[in-house]
């Protein structure tokens, strides 16, 4: 039970913020994204209620919404826990995101976007490079997320945009979960600028390819080795038993 997290929230509360379930949802979401709440962490309703200074009613609502967003697992009569997606689901999430974000990027390129918006995206990409240069991984991730989040918000097709928002969150969680410990950063130099160039040039298929390549590289950076399962156990000990 990360005390630093509790402390941070308590500080925010004392600052006079109005607390209700959207606030709690956002706080938990951010805490999970930044790994202050690692997968598997228990989220008891009473504890959360005390932290945020509200009763279980509000917390329950927030938890229900977080479960709908695939951030936590809620099982009957059991404590809610931060989700810990399997390797399998990680691969599937990436595949889904390639499909959806590729389409969104293609739509965006095809229909052309406002120059101001493009400038903003390029500023974020530049900020990401700079953050990476000075070794500030937290800021780098924030800028990278901002780009993809902005893409989702700009999507001409809002249904796809909402789906993309969900997928960006889910991939971020699994990236944090499965990142190779030896890797300092998941920064892929040039990927974002390439995407923005295709977007600026109105090259729909180029934008789609840029997204697909970017996400494939990202996935390849993860440690998605063979999953530990009972089947593996049996295979490993085959012939070792006395039978």
Partner DNA sequence: GAGCCCCTTCCTGTATACAGAAGGTGGGCA
Partner DNA sequence: TGCCCACCTTCTGTATACAGGAAGGGGCTC
Helix axis angle for 115-133 and 191-200, nearest 10°, is: 170
CB of 141 to DNA, least distance (A): 29
Query: What is the spatial distance between Cα 148 and Cα 219, in angstroms, rounded to a whole number?
Result: 16
Distances (CA, A) of 50 to 6, 36, 74, 205: 10, 18, 20, 51
Please name the residue that has the structure tokens 């934008």: 207
Residues 26-65 that bind a copy of itself (CB under 8 A): 60-61, 64-65
Single out the residue of 13, 19, 79, 99 in contact with a copy of itself (rule: CB under 8 A): 99
> Of the listed pieces 26-34, 45-53, 98-106, 219-227, which binds a copy of itself according to CB under 8 A?
98-106
Buried b / exposed e across 157-177, counting CB within 10 Å, b at 16+? eeebbebbbbbbbbbbbbbbb
Residues that bind DNA (CB under 7 A): 20-21, 42-47, 53-58, 60-61, 76-80
Q: How far is CA 201 from the centre of its chain?
A: 28
Q: Is 103 in the site for a copy of itself (CB under 8 A)?
A: yes
Nearest alpha carbon to residue 197 among 125, 130, 140: 125
1 in contact with a copy of itself (CB under 8 A): no
Q: Which is nearer to a copy of itself, 131 or 207 (CB)?
A: 207
Query: Smallest distance from the beta carbon of 233 to DNA, in angstroms?
Result: 19
The answer to the question of residue 93 lying near a copy of itself (CB under 8 A) is yes
The residue (of 159 and 236) whose beta carbon lies closer to a copy of itself is 159
Region 134-193 residues binding a copy of itself, contact defined as CB under 8 A: 157-160, 163, 170
| C-alpha 186, offset from chain centre | 13
Residues that bind a copy of itself (CB under 8 A): 60-61, 64-65, 68-69, 89, 92-93, 95-96, 99-100, 103, 157-160, 163, 170
């Amino acid at each position: 039970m990360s005390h630093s997290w509790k402390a941070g929230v308590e500080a925010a509360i004392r600052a006079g913020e109005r607390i209700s379930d959207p606030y709690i949802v956002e706080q938990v979401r951010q805490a999970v994204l930044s790994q202050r709440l690692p997968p598997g962490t228990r989220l008891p309703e009473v504890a959360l209620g005390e932290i945020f200074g509200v009763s279980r009613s509000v917390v329950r609502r927030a938890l229900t919404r977080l479960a709908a967003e695939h951030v936590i697992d809620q099982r009957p009569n059991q404590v809610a826990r931060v989700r810990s997606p399997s390797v399998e689901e990680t691969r599937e999430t990436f595949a889904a995101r390639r499909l959806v974000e590729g389409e969104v990027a293609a739509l965006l390129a095809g229909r052309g976007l406002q120059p101001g918006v493009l400038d903003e995206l390029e500023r974020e990409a530049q900020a990401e490079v700079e953050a990476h240069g000075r070794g500030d991984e937290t800021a780098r991730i924030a800028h990278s997320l901002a780009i993809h989040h902005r893409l989702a918000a700009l999507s001409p097709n809002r249904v796809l945009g909402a789906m993309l928002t969900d997928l960006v969150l889910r991939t971020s969680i699994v990236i944090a979960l499965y990142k190779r410990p030896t890797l300092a950063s998941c920064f892929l130099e040039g990927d974002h600028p390439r995407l923005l160039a295709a977007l600026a040039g109105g090259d729909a298929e180029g934008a789609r390819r840029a997204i697909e390549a970017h996400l494939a590289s990202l996935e390849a950076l993860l440690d998605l080795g063979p999953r530990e399962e009972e089947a593996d156990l049996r295979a490993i000990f085959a012939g070792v038993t006395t039978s």
